[in-house]
Amino acid sequence: MKTPVIVINFKAYSESLGMHAIRLARMAEDISKETGVNFCVAPQWVDLRSVASQVQIPVFAQAVDSAVSGSFTGSNTIEAAKDALADGMLVNHSERRITLSLMSEIVSAAKTSGLVSIVCADTPKATAAACALNPDFVAIEPPELIGTGIPVSKAKPEVVTKAIEKVKSLNSLSKVICGAGISTEEDVAAALRLGTVGVLLASGVVRAKDPQSVMLRMAIATGAKE
């Protein structure tokens, strides 16, 4: 997956449900085409198939509940993500923590299915642990900053740099994304300066008055040119 990357988690917000999901995904696609920056969107499961069929940017599931198909009720599977033409999935988001065992199964099954995995981790240690599973990306999210609007680059830059060091010292191929408190273009620029390959954010775009201009400013802040 091309980097730098800006991943927008639609969460379970009303503002990003149904036709709003399509609208936001199209905005991201437009900005992506315009600026060459890789935008990804993670709609709710109810919108996964419709969004994936209508935009060409990468579309992610917010979580997967089971690595295998079968006799499970209410579970969202790898196979379902693949069938919906999703490109990947978030794994172990702080609002959907899973066991190490399930995380390992999901990352492996994702790889087998050709899907990209972004594993969320709260500390440099958890980042190192996640790397052992060889996900494509690890999103570092100091939990005390989630939803605060305080960017980790300001409040705890050392958490990000330590996570990156850990990954390098392990010779891991996983890339680090910055995932808490990102709400402005300055936060995006700071995240990249710290050595990450992108950002994971939600309300900063989804609940913005003008999501498209926020996305545009963030794209520009990555300094990327086509």
128 is a contact residue toward a copy of itself (CB under 8 A): yes
β-sheet bridge partners, residue 204: none
Q: Which of 34, 79, 105, 141 is catalytic?
A: 141
Here's the x/- map for a copy of itself, 137-176, by CB under 8 A: it reads as: ------x---x------------------x---x------
Q: Positive or negative CA dihedral for 84, 85, 91, 94?
A: negative
Using CB under 8 A, which of 176, 202, 218, 219 touches a copy of itself? 202
Residue 101 — φ and ψ, nearest 5°? -60, -45
* Residue 151 Cβ vs a copy of itself, minimum distance, rounded to whole Å: 17
β-sheet bridge partners, residue 126: none
100 is a contact residue toward a copy of itself (CB under 8 A): yes
20: annotated active-site residue: no
SS3 state at 77:
strand
For residue 128, what are its two tokens?
A: 């190192």
Using CB under 8 A, which of 32, 35, 38, 104 touches a copy of itself? 104
For residue 88, what are its two tokens?
A: 């990947």
93: annotated active-site residue: yes
79 is a contact residue toward a copy of itself (CB under 8 A): yes
β-sheet bridge partners, residue 176: 138
CB 4 within 8 A of CB 33: no
Question: Of residues 169-188, which lie at the interface with a copy of itself (CB under 8 A)?
Answer: 170
Catalytic sites, residue numbers: 93, 141
